[in-house]
Structures are given as C-alpha cells and as structure tokens.
C-alpha cells in the first residue's frame, strides 16, 4: 500500500479518527463504572457509529465498518489501552473531552471527503462530514444514558467546530487544494475550535426572546 496515495491517506485518517473516538467511548464507560464488555460496546459504537451512518446514507454498502477488519479491531485496541492505562478518576472527564474533540476533527474531514467521492455536492458533503463527526458521540451518549452533547444547551458548542472543519474541506476540494497537509490542517482547525469552546465555555445562541417577555422552557442547542 502506497502511504501517499489519497485512498491510503483516507484509510489511515479513518483509523486515527476511529481510535481517538473509541478511546473517548471507553473512558466514558470507565466514568460510568461499566465492565470491560461495556467499555468495548461504547468504544465500538463511538468509533464506528458516525461512519456507519454516513456510509448507509451515501450508499457505500456494505459499510466499511463491517467489511474492514481494521475498523472493527481498532476500537478493541482502544478498549485494552484504556482498561489498563486510564487516567485517575478525577481526570477522566477531561480526557473524554479531548479525545472526543480529536475524533470530531478527524471525522469531519474524512466524512466530507468520502461523501464527495461518492458524488455528493458541497453542501451535502459538508452535512455528511458533520454526521460522521457527531454521529458516534451521539450514539455513545445515548447508550450511556446521557443527553447527547450535540443537543444540550448547557454544553459548549459541539456541531459548529465540525461544521467549520467540514466546510473548509469542501472549499479545498472545490478549489483543488485538498492534500494530506491541508486535510490535517482542517482537522486541526475543528479540533482547536472545540478545545477553545471547552476552555472559554462558548455556547450557541438560544432562540430570540422579545424584550420584556419571560423566557420559555430551555430548548437544547447545538
């Protein structure tokens, strides 16, 4: 396999995204005091959920998640790593957020690229990039009996960094400037934006309320 071939780069980016997302899933399982089976389930769901959704929507069937052995084994490797080397309990939540942000950045790139390769236009490709980036985290949180971060108003912006990264990739494709380097920079952009949102508590705006009226019930935001 030529490591500089675009398809090879896509494959390794996919595996990297799967691994870091799977680590976040396994760490959340530790925080929830689940056993190793629960850790493996959350790792697999987090690592493969977004890509599985993307492939089903764009017609890339059977999905790579069930045909590539590396895709299936990578979350298990992440589970073993977390099982033996997870950080101290008080640091687990921060680690989950950092690995989740890394997965968000990588998957918004790979999802957009793969959607474009299957003939989708820029807007649809960006939407698939967002779905790839956020899908695994949503599935992880639902399995762990938590409201997904994507839908919680009291959580820092989650979808916006992935949307920015996916849009950057779509623009690079449109201008013929997409390379492994620019792909990495796009992933880094989304990753850094997510970390900044966590650091400075950036949140998306709520629905506008006319002055003098009482705010209605809390509505989840992005």
Averaged over 83-91, what is the pLDDT?
70
In this predicted structure, the answer to whether residue 71 has a pLDDT above a threshold of 90 is yes
Alpha helices in 87-221, H assignment, sequence order: 89-117, 122-143, 159-174, 180-200
Asked if pLDDT for residue 118 goes beyond 90, the answer is yes
Does 207 fall in a domain? no
Ranking 25-34, 52-61, 151-160, 211-220 by mean pLDDT, the lowest is 211-220
Mean pLDDT of 34-49: 96
pLDDT of 109 higher than 80: yes
Residues 6+ apart with CB under 8 A from 16: 106
**Does residue 216 sit within a domain?**
no
Average pLDDT value for the chain: 87
**87 versus 183: which is more confidently predicted?**
183
Q: What is the pLDDT of residue 3?
A: 38
Structure tokens at 86: 């997870």
Does residue 4 carry a pLDDT above 50?
no
In contact, 23 and 97? CB cutoff 8 Å: no
Query: Per residue in 179-215, pLDDT tens?
Result: 989 999 999 999 999 999 999 988 878 778 787 665 5
- Rg, the chain, Cα only: 17
* H/E segment holding residue 112: helix 89-117
Judge whether 1 lies within some domain: no
154, 195 contact by CB (below 8 A): no
Residues in the chain: 222
Instruction: Please answer whether residues 222 and 154 qualify as being in contact, where contact means their C-beta atoms are separated by less than 8 angstroms.
Output: no
Domains contained in the chain, number: 1
In a domain, 138, yes or no: yes
| Assigned domain for 14 exists | yes
Query: Is there a domain that residue 219 lies in?
Result: no
| Residues of the domain holding 177 | 6-200
pLDDT of residue 215: 52
- Residue 14: what pLDDT? 86
């Amino acid at each position: 396999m030529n490591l500089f071939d675009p398809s090879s780069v896509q494959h390794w980016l996919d595996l990297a995204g799967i691994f870091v997302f799977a680590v976040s899933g396994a760490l959340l399982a530790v925080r929830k005091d689940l056993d190793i089976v629960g850790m493996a389930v959350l790792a697999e769901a987090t690592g493969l959920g977004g890509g599985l959704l993307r492939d089903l929507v764009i017609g890339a069937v059977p999905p790579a998640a069930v045909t590539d052995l590396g895709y299936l084994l990578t979350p298990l490797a992440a589970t073993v790593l977390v099982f033996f080397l997870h950080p101290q309990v008080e640091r687990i939540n921060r680690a989950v957020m950092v690995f989740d942000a890394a997965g968000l950045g990588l998957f918004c790139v790979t999802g957009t690229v793969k959607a474009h390769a299957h003939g989708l236009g820029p807007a649809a490709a960006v939407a698939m990039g967002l779905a790839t980036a956020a899908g695994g985290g949503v599935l992880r949180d639902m399995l762990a009996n938590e409201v997904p971060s994507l839908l919680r108003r009291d959580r820092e912006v989650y979808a916006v960094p992935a949307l920015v990264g996916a849009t950057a990739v779509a623009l690079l494709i449109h201008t013929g400037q997409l390379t492994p380097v620019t792909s990495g920079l796009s992933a880094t952009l989304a990753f850094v934006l997510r970390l900044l949102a966590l650091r400075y508590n950036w949140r998306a705006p709520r629905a506008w309320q006319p002055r003098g009226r009482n705010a209605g019930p809390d509505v989840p935001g992005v």
